[in-house]
Structure 1
Amino acid sequence: MTSEPAVLRLTVRQLLEVPRFRLRLVAGESGLDRPIRWAHSTELLEPGPYLRGNEVVLTVGAALRDADSCVAFAGSVKASRASAIGYGVGDVTEDVPEALSRVCERLGLPLMAVPPEIPFLSFTEWFAERLASTHDERHEREETGRLLRMIREGHASAEVLRARIDETGLDHGSLLAIAMDVPENDLPGLLGVDGDTAILIGSEEHVWAEPAGVGSPGPLEHLALSLAESVAALEVARRTGGVVRGADLATFPALLRRLTPDQVSPFAEQIARPLRDYDNAHGTSLVETLSTFLAMGGAVGATSRSLFLHPNTLRHRLARIESLTGRNPLQFEDRVALAIAIWAGPTN
Structure 2
Amino acid sequence: MLTLQTLLQDPALELRPLVPGPPGSLDQPALWLHNTELPDPSRYVRAGEIVLTNGLWLHETTAESFVGHLLTAGAAGLIFGLRKETPRTPDDLISACERAGLPLVEISIKVPFSAVTEAAADIYTEQRQDALVGLVRRGNALASAISHGAGATGVLSVLRREHRLPLVVVDRMGRSLAAADAELTPEQLRTVAGALARRPPPLELDLGDGTTATIFLVSAVSDIDAALLCLRPVAGLSRAEQDALEQTARFLSLEVAKQQAVHAIEQRYASELLDMILSGAQRAAEVPDRLRSFGVDPSAPLAVCALAFAAGEPLPGIADTVTDFFLGHGIAAVVAAGSQDVVAVLPWRRAAAELAVLAAELCDAVRRRFPDQRPVAGLGELASSAAELRRPLVQAREACRLLRRRSDQSVAAFAELGTHRLLLGLQDQETLGGFADTVLTPLREYDRKHAGELERTLRVFLANDGQFGTTATQLYVHVNTLRNRLTKIAELSGRDVTRTEDRVELFLALEADAMR
Q: With structure 2 as the length reference, what TM-score do the two structures score?
A: 0.33
Greater relative contact order (CA < 8 Å, ≥ 6 in sequence) = 1
Pair member with larger Rg: 2
Q: With structure 1 as the length reference, what TM-score do the two structures score?
A: 0.46
